[in-house]
Amino acid sequence: MNAPLAPVALQAKDFKSDYKPVWCPGCGDYSVLSAITKALAMLGLRRENVALVSGIGCSSRIPAYTTCYGFHGVHGRSLPAATGLKVARPDLTVLVASGDGDGYSIGGNHFLHACRRNVDLTYIVMDNHVYGMTKGQPSPTTEPNWDSKLSPGGTGVREFHPLVIALASGANFVARAFSGDPTGCAQIIAAAIRHPGFSFVEVLSPCVTFRPDQRGWKELVHPAPVEATDDPARAARRIMTDDGFNLGVLYRGNRPPYKTGAAAATRRVAELEAGFSLTESA
């Protein structure tokens, strides 16, 4: 985070736009929106210095519901767009919003390389273990035995483990939050924004329409019993053996972030195009 602070502190409501979210009543994403706006207020940021980038999905609608700059892009492609933005405009605080389908399935490859590059981004994935927007197909984090109309008897395919994959790929900050605790979630998102490099926050955010069973998550979540470590192997071991409902910052790394702000482009597009011209010169 390197943006100038607001001269007069803004409140969470100042970061919410006038667009009324079209999410289903009870969807966890409402609380994630509140948590993001609370985190921006906590950090004293200005709206014009923050950009939210997303792909496609119910969760990816978030940029439109804020008063920051936003880019609602293509399914699975939020991270490349956000990386380009941050590299070109290092003065901006760049947040990326995604879902488990958008971020781990079609966008899975970008996830690995964003962790590895360690550009100073905050990646917030609203994980509901289902494709909500397209009406309930299983996603990479769906339990193998989840029986539904679109996956009778379950897929039988083991789940993807995003937090451990993020650690193995080089993410510099790894945390798990719960939408049902918007204050705790806001504190974790604020810590992620403050931490340099690629920060990954997996938010358990129930899809009450296609996964009504996830209403039970509020009984299962609990704070992580130990402080975050800076040792990725230890963090990975803890995460692999936890119950999946441990909340908090689980890993804080010390890797220097990718250096942004390289020399600005000095050549015009027309000059570059001329270099690729197929017309033979006399």
Residue of 74, 112, 208, 228 that binds ligand SF4 (CB under 6 A)? 208
- In the bound complex, what is the minimum distance in angstroms from residue 128's beta carbon to ligand SF4? 6
Q: Is 207 in the site for ligand SF4 (CB under 6 A)?
A: yes
Report how many residues bind ligand TPP under the rule CB under 6 A: 19
**Among 197, 240, 246, CA closest to 220:** 246
210 binds, among ligand TPP, ligand SF4, none (CB under 5 to 8 A by kind): ligand SF4
Residues 2-41 within binding reach of ligand SF4 (CB under 6 A): 23-24, 27, 29
Binding segment for ligand SF4 (CB under 6 A), chosen from 8-16, 128-136, 141-149, 236-244, is 128-136
Contact pattern from residue 40 through residue 79 relative to ligand TPP, giving x for each residue in contact according to CB under 6 A and a dash for the rest: ----------------xxxx---------------x----
**Among 178, 55, 157, 155, CA closest to 108:** 55
What is the Cα–Cα distance from 105 to 120, expressed in whole angstroms?
A: 23
∠ Cα 79 104 49 (to 5°)? 25
Residue with token string 């958008």: 102
Contact pattern from residue 76 through residue 105 relative to ligand TPP, giving x for each residue in contact according to CB under 6 A and a dash for the rest: -----------------------xxxx---
Which residue number, 30 or 69, has a Cβ lying nearer to ligand SF4?
30
- In the bound complex, what is the minimum distance in angstroms from residue 17's beta carbon to ligand SF4? 17
Q: Is 64 in the site for ligand SF4 (CB under 6 A)?
A: no
- Pairing mode, strands 246-252 and 173-178: antiparallel
Three-state SS for 211-226 is CHHHHHHHHHCEECCC
Residue 70's DSSP bridge partners are 52
- In the bound complex, what is the minimum distance in angstroms from residue 61's beta carbon to ligand TPP? 8
In Å, how far are 39, 66, 93, 206, 240 from 69, measured between CA atoms? 16, 8, 10, 26, 36
Q: Is 133 in the site for ligand TPP (CB under 6 A)?
A: yes
- In the bound complex, what is the minimum distance in angstroms from residue 107's beta carbon to ligand TPP? 8
What is the Cα–Cα distance from 267 to 72, expressed in whole angstroms?
A: 29
**Among 154, 128, 132, CA closest to 143:** 154
- In the bound complex, what is the minimum distance in angstroms from residue 52's beta carbon to ligand TPP? 15
Chain centroid to CA 108: 12
Q: Is 209 in the site for ligand SF4 (CB under 6 A)?
A: yes
Binding residues for ligand SF4, rule: CB under 6 A, are 23-24, 27, 29, 58, 128, 132-133, 207-210
Residues that bind ligand TPP (CB under 6 A): 56-59, 75, 99-102, 106, 126, 128, 130-134, 139, 207
